[in-house]
Amino acid sequence: MRQAGRYLPEYREVRSQAGGFLDLCYSPKLACEVTLQPIRRYGMDAAILFSDILVVPHGLAQQVAFKEGEGPVLDPIRNASELKRLSLDGFHERVAPVYETVSRLAEALPKETTLIGFAGSPWTVATYMAEGGGSKEFVAVKRWAYGDPEGFAQLIDLLVEATIAYLKRQAEAGAEVLQLFDSWAGVLPEPAFRRWCIEPTRKIIAALKGSHPDIPIIGFPRGAGTLCHDYAMETGVDAVSLDTSMEISWAARTLQPKLPVQGNLDPILLVAGGEALDREADRILEGFSGGAHIFNLGHGVTQTTPPENVERLARRLRADG
């Protein structure tokens, strides 16, 4: 999950030097620095590359901007003819600074700290591309997917191809694990979930396993509920990351015998802190103690998190061994 960000004063300091948020993502020196910040403070077992899932649409020549206090703003693409504005030509050149950041991190990180590269899953990235930013109802992207599935498939196929190329380069630059974020997997009905989340993810993983069979791939189908089982079984992921709403006993019974799970502390418990945080961390450790488990949040760290609560959690997890 996101572990860097504005809750850390040292991030805000670097962010204020960088100009825009995308400039930060495309500055290997600064992106490397903000990736390392939470590792220095807390010594997590893994560092996640500092970048964003919207680097991929930008690499495909879509206009992408991050407006202060507003989040991402994109020039929307809502049908097959608008899709012609995008191209894979020049993709690697545009996103090359991200590969450079990965190389620097591979050098800079302590040997025992795993470097996680990532990309958004095609469905989730497509929601931002069609909506022109974040969304509550996903009307534009769903109207396209439901109304013209053949046309929408062209966008998803383009994203599959770009994501494969992008993650291969991250692996070559030194990423040791790759994660696919499908943050909006949970807004689709079952058949659409299978077509637009499971199927593209399966294609991406098949290609990566062909070129980099030893790199584990973690999938995060946020909000998928019980469909998380089919996602875990059919996409070829090596581990599945669980969101906060996932019932632990269900996941322990249904998923954990088949593959490692990651998760799923409510990030708002890191805002609340205190015994509520301790109790919930213990409940998660206990619930997943019967199999392979990577302790993590159920979603990214939020901006109002007091850094000392992250420290408290890290200490507690270490004490547990």
Is 151 annotated to bind ligand? no
Q: Which of 32, 53, 95, 173 binds ligand 1CP (CB under 6 A)?
A: 53
Question: Between the CA atoms of 231, 236, 240 and 245, what dihedral angle is there, to the nearest 10 degrees?
Answer: 0
Per rule CB under 6 A, is residue 21 in the interface with ligand 1CP?
yes
Could you confirm whether 169 is annotated as catalytic? no
Is 274 annotated to bind ligand? no
The contact pattern for ligand 1CP, residues 179-208, with x = CB under 6 A and - = no contact, is: --x-x-------------------------
Could you confirm whether 128 is annotated as catalytic? yes
Answer yes or no: are the C-beta atoms of 120 and 56 closer than 8 Å.
Answer: yes
Torsion angles phi and psi, residue 120, rounded to 5: -75, 155
Per rule CB under 6 A, is residue 41 in the interface with ligand 1CP?
no
Q: Which residue's Cβ has the minimum distance to ligand 1CP? A: 134
Beta-carbon contacts of residue 263 (< 8 Å; ≥ 6 apart): 241, 242, 243, 244, 246, 284, 294, 295, 296, 297, 298
* Of 187 and 252, CB closest to ligand 1CP: 187
Is 154 annotated to bind ligand? no
Beta-carbon contacts of residue 12 (< 8 Å; ≥ 6 apart): 6
Is 4 annotated to bind ligand? yes
Per rule CB under 6 A, is residue 241 in the interface with ligand 1CP?
no
The contact pattern for ligand 1CP, residues 142-171, with x = CB under 6 A and - = no contact, is: ------------------------------
* Of 20 and 257, CB closest to ligand 1CP: 20
The SS3 assignment for 264 reads: strand
* Of 11 and 288, CB closest to ligand 1CP: 11
The Cα 63–Cα 78 span in angstroms is 14
Stretch that binds ligand 1CP, among 3-11, 136-144, 149-157, 276-284 (CB under 6 A): 3-11
Beta-carbon contacts of residue 63 (< 8 Å; ≥ 6 apart): 74, 75
Q: What is the nearest approach in angstroms of ligand 1CP to the Cβ of residue 236? A: 20
Answer yes or no: are the C-beta atoms of 160 and 153 closer than 8 Å.
Answer: no
Per rule CB under 6 A, is residue 35 in the interface with ligand 1CP?
yes
Q: Which of 14, 30, 48, 156 binds ligand 1CP (CB under 6 A)?
A: 48
Instruction: Give the count of alpha carbons within 13 A of 13, CB side only.
Output: 6
Beta-carbon contacts of residue 273 (< 8 Å; ≥ 6 apart): 306, 308, 309, 312
Answer yes or no: are the C-beta atoms of 162 and 59 closer than 8 Å.
Answer: yes
Per rule CB under 6 A, is residue 134 in the interface with ligand 1CP?
yes
Residue spans of beta strands (DSSP E) within the chain: 46-48, 64-67, 71-74, 114-120, 177-182, 217-221, 239-241, 261-265, 293-297
Residues noted as catalytic? 2, 6, 15, 52, 128
Residue positions in the annotated binding site for substrate?
2-6, 52, 128, 183, 299
Binding residues (CB under 6 A) for ligand 1CP: these are 2-6, 15, 21, 35, 48, 50, 52-54, 66, 71-72, 118, 120, 134, 181, 183, 299-300
